[in-house]
Structure 1
Amino acid sequence: MDIESEHVMVTHGAQLAIYIAASLVLKPGSKVIVAHMNYVLADKLFEQLGATLVKVNVDENGIDVDAIDEICRRSRPDLLYIIPHHHHPTTVTLSPERRMKLLDIIRRYQLPVIEDDYDYDFHYDNSPILPLASADHNGYVLYVGSISKTLAPTIRLGYLVGSADFIRQASRLKLMMEIRGDVLFEESVANLFTTGELQRHLRRSVRSYRQRRDLFCGLLKASLGDLIQFTTPSGGMAVWMVFDQDYSISGLSKRLYNKGIFMNDGSMYRYSETVNGIRVGFASLDDEEIEKFTQILTLVR
């Protein structure tokens, strides 16, 4: 992205960056386009700000861009929230064709966008799709990223990229929540970038996560292949598993809990009534833990 320091604001995690950006764009009664299956905390955040969610389906090529065009044609909403790279929760990536169509829609309707790119660094099979924010969007795309996924979940460090004027306004809003960030901590992370240590760490992480993904997906197919459908993700840190419609994920979660393993029961996903799926992470598990998890899955399924 062609940006300078005045286009970037550092935040305590990407979630705060999303909140600040949305707070400057939305007001009670605003309408926000989101994916039908979406990052739950973003949905809750927009509703907390008084907005109404307009849901659009996601398929193997990403969010339905034609549906977004039709919504804008009838009445342009106030915001589009999108995760084009490793969509949460399904892990799919917006196709290049849809990306070009969406950029045209953004420019044509002057549609404000929050682009959540929480794990851009983790791609395994090919080069990542470039962010929407890297293309010509006339200043309508606000880009949110995270260092937390690169280092550790306890490292609460995110950032918001936008026009210089928007970042000035965002900084004034942030000032009401915290007078300054953790400057010493931010300088320490900056030093990791400057010395190249963070880049080396990232390369090691990508190699490790790729290996864990391959092992995890291979064992999943062996243990649950007749019960689930999933696509091996091209990047990211999780697998989206869809079970047979009459299969109880909550029941599976309880049986795993009795074996000393915690797995989300799917209740956190609002769409669980229509899609019997669950997002399961693999990046934090070593080989032994992956093998143990899938072995126990085979026993309690």
Structure 2
Amino acid sequence: MPAHTPRADVLAAVPALVDESGEIDTAANRALLTGLVGRVDGVFVAGTTGEFPALHRAERRELVGLALEIFGPDRVVAHIGAAATRDAVTLARDAVALGASRLAAITPYYLAVDTDAVTRHFAAITAAAGDAVVYGYLFPDRTGVAADAEEFARTAAETGLAGAKLSGAAAGLLAEFVAALPPGTPLWTGHDSALAAAVRAGGRGVVSGLSSAFPAPLAALADAVARGDAEAERTAQAEADEVAATLAGSPEAIKYALARQGIGTEVMRMPAPLVSAERRDRIDRLVAAVGAPVA
């Protein structure tokens, strides 16, 4: 009999949908979140896919509150990270006041920091979070803060961080983080199609931008891995790889894919490359092939 593996989490890293003038589109965000219920295990709100540096405090409150209303506190990870500790602390208090029980915070970014500065940053956040759990968010490619498993383990022990999301170069270090942290510490990869490898390395699952627009392939992959069904896993992995290659991990492509499914616009808050005609054609074909839209 094939070995069975605990089923991986698939957390959709949702974009912040805006209207043609760039204002938060509450109806579109509600439609997106409602359409994901029962198709993913939860949502990661106001993260990189959500263009968090371009969101105002009130907008982050609105998006987190909407997710909590639709998914409930156990299935929402509210990203409250900011470059300034003061701002991250304020956002943490906002999220907890809304009822969030799971928070994530990216490391500081822009100015160079050392391990002590990062530890002080996270200590202030966990203190403000009270009983809510806080996960670190490591994305060295974007923040300039190196991902080191041993250093993170010391920081987590000192500050009470409960786990981490590992993106970019950090995702390739997941096994090192598993070895450095206490057994059972939840770790998610931000590498969308690497769910199977992450789970087998001891990770909890994936925080996936692509699953915002195409949740079925990642859910099927998680199911196949959990069942130990090698044939189903190969099929689902190929589908997940195709989605990942088509969207190329970009929020602008994810927004375009959602717009083609009737959810929101493709307007970005942050400057981003235009989705090329070739990629639009690939996304259009994918929308037609994968089946029913998210909504």
State TM-score, norm by structure 2.
0.34
State TM-score, norm by structure 1.
0.33
Which structure carries more helix by proportion?
2
Larger radius of gyration: 1
Structure with the larger RCO, 1 or 2 (CA within 8 Å, 6+ apart): 2
Which structure carries more strand by proportion?
1
